[in-house]
Structure 1
Amino acid sequence: MLSGPLSILMGASGIAQDTLFSASSPYEYRFDLTTWGVIHLVVGVALVIAGLGVLTKQSWGRGAGATMAGISLITQFMFVPYYPAWAIPVMTLDLVIVFALTRFHVGTSGGH
């Protein structure tokens, strides 16, 4: 629920052709800003949906959350040349989310 809105904001900036983003050198994953905006918007919405699944303890929530955080991590990595001051902290956040959602939780019963 944190990484999703951040990706949505990044996507909105890209779609609006904001001057915030620019790649200074030739880059393998260079797309126009509208394409990057749509990518971040779609990933952000999927992250919010997965986050709602985690918060409401849906059976699919943890798996979807970890998968979407992993996809977000990859897209942020590919976006680093455009805006590293934003992409690197969001990558760190995504990594923490993947770690938190993939940890094994041992349930405790009421007894000893």
Structure 2
Amino acid sequence: MDGESKAAWAAGGMVFAAVSMIMMGVWQAIEGIFGIATDNFYAEVQDYVVSIDTTAWGWIHLILGVVTALVGCALFGGATWARVLGVVLACLVLINNFLYLPYYPFWSLLIIALAIFSIWAMTVAPKPTGPDYR
């Protein structure tokens, strides 16, 4: 793969990263709302390293989700601060869902995969320049 192909993949990946950050944020928020509203929606886990009540998990997911979605929207503007904050938030989302695996495995694995690709896209994509750049 030559340099132009890599740049095209990375630039397209940046758009995907913005969209996936918004999706991750919305999904996290929905997951948080379910955790807050219904205590019996998620599996009860016994003897796990991280024992947090599902309502507390719900608040963590809701707050993290709203902030992640907002930063995903800011990524469309190409702001460097949004990239940096996006990488930090994607790492937090990844860690959060890794710890949440026993409660809702498939959902957590899906969000972990999106977070990994988002981190890659935000760190590899070139900074946009030129007259069309806002």
CA distance in 2, matches of 1:84, 1:101: 26
Which residue in 2 is equivalent to 1:36? 57
- SS of aligned partner of 2:94: helix
Q: Identify unmatched segments of 5+ residues in structure 2.
A: 1-21
TM-score by length of 2: 0.75
Q: Which has the higher contact order (CA 8 A, sep 6+)?
A: 2
Report if aligned partners of 2:97, 2:111 keep a CA contact under 8 Å in 1.
yes
Which of 11, 14, 20 is residue 41 of structure 2 equivalent to?
Answer: 20
Structure with greater helix percent: 2
CA RMSD of aligned residues (A): 1.9
CA distance in 2, matches of 1:75, 1:105: 28
- SS of aligned partner of 1:41: helix
Instruction: Confirm whether residue 8 of structure 1 aligns to residue 64 of structure 2.
Output: no
Percent identity between the two aligned chains: 30
Q: Offset at 1:62?
A: 0.7
TM-score by length of 1: 0.88
Runs of 4+ with deviation above 3 angstroms: 106-109
Q: How many residues align?
A: 110
Which residue in 1 is equivalent to 2:89? 68
